[in-house]
Structure 1
Amino acid sequence: MKTNYLFLLLFLATLLNGNHLIAQSTEDFESETTGATTFTDNGQNFTIANGAGETTYDIEFFTSGGWNGTGADSQFIDNSSGNPTTGDGSSFAITTTDGTDITVKSFYLFVSNRFLSGPGTPTTITIEGRKDGGSVFTINKSSGIVDGSTFTPNNGFTFIDLASEGGTDNSNENIDELIISSTNNADYLALDAFTWDAQVLSINDVEAQQIKAKIFPNPSSDFIEIYGLDQTHTFGLYDILGKEIKKGILSNNDIINIQNLTNGMYFLKLENGNTVKFIKE
């Protein structure tokens, strides 16, 4: 029986990885809602989150202002609305709304100053992949960045290939959050042609998924209920920067009051290693 169970798990892992039930997909945002802070691609829901000091990242429409990988398009993610502080760079994150792990293959990034009148360089672009609130990889890029204000090449967008950027292949690393930030006068960032794929599964991953704790409702503004626990666990509640907000003990179907939390993304970490992401709205 044990042998058959392991064979089944191996078959599932092979099926999910080798045949890509969620096939590699490129989101060009053309069918998304202008002004939205969420999008859906190939059945997966994503959330756009603002970095520190930013309040404006969403899906923008500007005729022929984007780049889908082969030509100009008209919708993309950027921070063109609002009036954030300038001269200190910018940052935003793309996360899977339900905490599903994915692999990110590549994307195009436009970099300039706030008013598109200058390149916003020199700057350092930092690309960080995170999983369950912990860092999986970090890439720092300070050369080879297209001067976005010239709109040449690629309509001003820099191609970021995670298979080679930074000298390491991070295109098969399982993450649920991608954080992109800049420094100095690179106050305007735009992202297009976001290419991703399903997570890379091992037998251990498949086993872990069978006992993973879940949160409902998610997002929530008042309370969250924890279910799927097999026993009592200690827990820690962390914000998107990794700061512990509260801790305690949880049993199955226990409720946590989140009314006093600031709106945003949080992580509930259990002693058994489970980490569940939720959004306070």
Structure 2
Amino acid sequence: MSTPQLPSDVRATAQRAVRLIDERLPGYLDGMYLHGSLCWGEYFDDSDIDFVATTTRRPNETDIAKLQQIHRDLPDHFDGFYVPTTQLAEDPSVLPVHPGVLHGKFTVAHHCDANQVTWQELAERGITVHGPDAGELDIFTSDTVLELNTRTNLEGYWLPRLQGLVDTPDAGISPREAAWSVLGVLRLHHALTQHAITSKSGAGRWGLEAMDERHRPVIEHALAWREEGRDDGAFADDAARQSVTVDLMSDVLGQHDLHPTDTP
């Protein structure tokens, strides 16, 4: 697989992160890798820069304090986490807590991206910024764990999200919210039915062929927003957009025996 060309601002941000870590924590950083939309060649104007940084050791309190300061000097959309290199060979669901940042908020916890999808992306198409090539790393991959994690995500995150939309049918959702929901559930549906990971846009294009034709307008709407930041005008208002989003989400989750409860 050829490595996608990195946008200049992405490369500059990632290299700045490496430089700051090496300056303030000499010997701590082992590797810096990018994944997410970048590794699929689908980086758009509002995309995050998703990273995994591998380290030579578990962090102590001084390391954590310095990492937090480093991320104050980096953009809020530089999202990711730090794990010892050896822990890439482990099931990510059992990792101990680790430093990470999401939308500018630094925590020591289990980062939401420390999951089997990220491990698969690193193993199959990770982009190396610093350190050993991603293809040379010992990374845990398991179709069984991927399926289990995907199912857990559908049940633990997307079913409650769908329930919230069902319970408030007149609230309306924005094009951004519709794109997040439509492409998010399609990506997981693809993983469970095709036994392979794909990008959000890839899931949308697959969904145009795989899903019932009635869902085409909302999938095209989601792709237009994700890839161009454009409302294609397919829906009269936010409530209409919510209705078709709920229909698609219900269809996808229903195919995995997950159903919202009816609102009284």
Q: TM-score when scaled to structure 1?
A: 0.27
- Which structure carries more strand by proportion? 1
Q: Point out which structure has higher relative CO (alpha carbons under 8 A, 6+ apart).
A: 1
Q: TM-score when scaled to structure 2?
A: 0.28
- Which structure carries more helix by proportion? 2
